[in-house]
Structure 1
Amino acid sequence: MKNNYPTADISSFRTWAPIHSQFFKNDLALLTRAHAGGTDETNFNLALDTLKNNDPDFIFLHLDEPDVIAHSQCFGSAYNDSIQKADSKLNVLLDEIQKRQSNGENWLVLVTTDHGRTPISGCHHGNQTCQEKTIFISSNQTLNDEFSNVVTSLPNQSVQK
């Protein structure tokens, strides 16, 4: 983005440390604002404040609570509650984006997970089962067909466990 639009206002708010410290550490200097660590609530509030009080071109927001809950408690009511909390935060952000769109701005919102979960329990990930490799992608705009179809014909790269 910075190559094509050097003055772009780019924000990244994340709860899980490796996103900034490991995966994108060389790109941090390109960010207009960033926050690393804290809680999902802190990062959500920073993203919301950015939408309300700045002129952002791109915002990355990472919410970690559903993943943390799934690792510690697996699928169940606590996990469902964490998904509903994240969804409520998304609704607030979408309301703010809708206000901006009513003022002529064009926004693309993508929501996704970074991985699936083990079948049945939902506690783990990292193996090559279809359930662990399957994610969802949701958007406020129509996406290309490649994002609408489930691909089941690709072979696993290692033995299923």
Structure 2
Amino acid sequence: MRGSFRSSNIFRLGVLCTFLLIGHLKIQAQNKVLIIGIDGTRPDALLTADTPNLDGLWQNGAYSFRAKTDPLSWSGVCWTSMLTGVWKEKHKVYSNSYENPNVKEYPHFFRRAREQKPNLKTYSIANWKPVHNILQENDAVEAVHRKTDAAVTKQVVRTLKNTDVDVLFLHLDNVDHAGHKYGYALENKKYISAIEKTDKKVGEIIKALKKRKDYEKENWLILVSTDHGGSGKGHGKDTPEHTTIFYIASGKEVTQGEILKEVNVVDVAVTALKHLEIDIKEEWKLDGKPSGLK
């Protein structure tokens, strides 16, 4: 009887240890980030368009359609603010020419992440090549420029399928092209159509993400936003049509529903760093904050 009792206890202990191990493995799922940047997309136009893939992200995630970008609403200024987590007064990019970016003091968030976790595999795949102007040596495992959104999407799908990627930023530009050519307006069918076509590319990317071999063991945060809006056939002004943007956060670690507090373009990088479990240091003087996370 004594031997049987001892065997029973050993069995129970083994079962308990197994459950604890499984729980530990679940807790240790590796945090990863996918940032989808859709250039020149007004939030009201996004809500007008037929976008089932983007709708699926914001309706099941955290979102704001009242977020704000830099008052100087040029692409170079705003993408730099998004990817550094600070406003132009710090990163010193005041136009699309990137004359003298202050990347020493305020680098791309890839560098912040890799300083603490050097083995993080960071990728940037962009239609608009100047987005990469603030990347320094070793910030990204790979920074790829593709001339069309279709080529960007193909490269992103290939990377997600074949690569042990931890952080991926991608930039799609067709919506902004449509705005400049036809006008940034809700009643402009070609502008709305460009958003709908981009949504299909987002669907391809999300599908590829979920088909990753180890997807169930990974904890992905998907962030989707834009650099600016527009009116007429341009942007760059400090007006609501130009500076109001959207922000979407989707994943297991987000608080579902509309984000009622203020959200800014600089929050994207800081939210990504937070999810990657990077120690955000006060000395970095970041202007953004984590938005939408639990």
TM-score, scaled relative to structure 2 = 0.45
Say whether residues 1:124 and 2:234 are aligned partners. Answer: yes
For 2:146 and 2:157, the matched residues in 1 are separated by 17
Other structure's SS at 1:3 match: helix
Say whether residues 1:104 and 2:104 are aligned partners. Answer: no
**Which residue is equivalent to 1:60?**
169
Give yes or no for contact 2:124–2:144 (8 Å, CA) kept in 1: yes
Other structure's SS at 2:154 match: helix
**Which residue is equivalent to 2:76?**
none
* Aligned-pair Cα RMSD in Å: 2.3
Give unmatched runs, 5+ long, in structure 2.
1-112, 263-294
Larger mean CA deviation between 73-82 and 100-109 belongs to 100-109
CA displacement at 1:103 relative to structure 2: 2.3
AA aligned opposite 1:34: A
For 2:239 and 2:261, the matched residues in 1 are separated by 14
AA aligned opposite 1:2: R
Other structure's SS at 1:124 match: coil
Given the alignment, which residue of 130, 149, 153 partners 2:260? 149
For 1:144 and 1:108, the matched residues in 2 are separated by 13
Other structure's SS at 2:219 match: coil
CA deviation map 1:35-67 (0-9, x unaligned):
124111111111110100111001110000100
TM-score, scaled relative to structure 1 = 0.80
For 1:39 and 1:88, the matched residues in 2 are separated by 15
**Structure 1 residues 143, 60: CA separation in 2 closer, same or farther (over 3 Å shift)?**
farther
Count, aligned residues: 145
Structure number with greater CO (CA < 8 Å, separation at least 6) is: 2
Give unmatched runs, 5+ long, in structure 1.
152-161
Other structure's SS at 1:48 match: helix
CA deviation map 1:41-97 (0-9, x unaligned):
111111110100111001110000100110111131211121111111111211222
Say whether residues 1:70 and 2:70 are aligned partners. Answer: no
**Structure 1 residues 117, 109: CA separation in 2 closer, same or farther (over 3 Å shift)?**
same
CA displacement at 1:17 relative to structure 2: 2.2
CA displacement at 1:102 relative to structure 2: 4.7
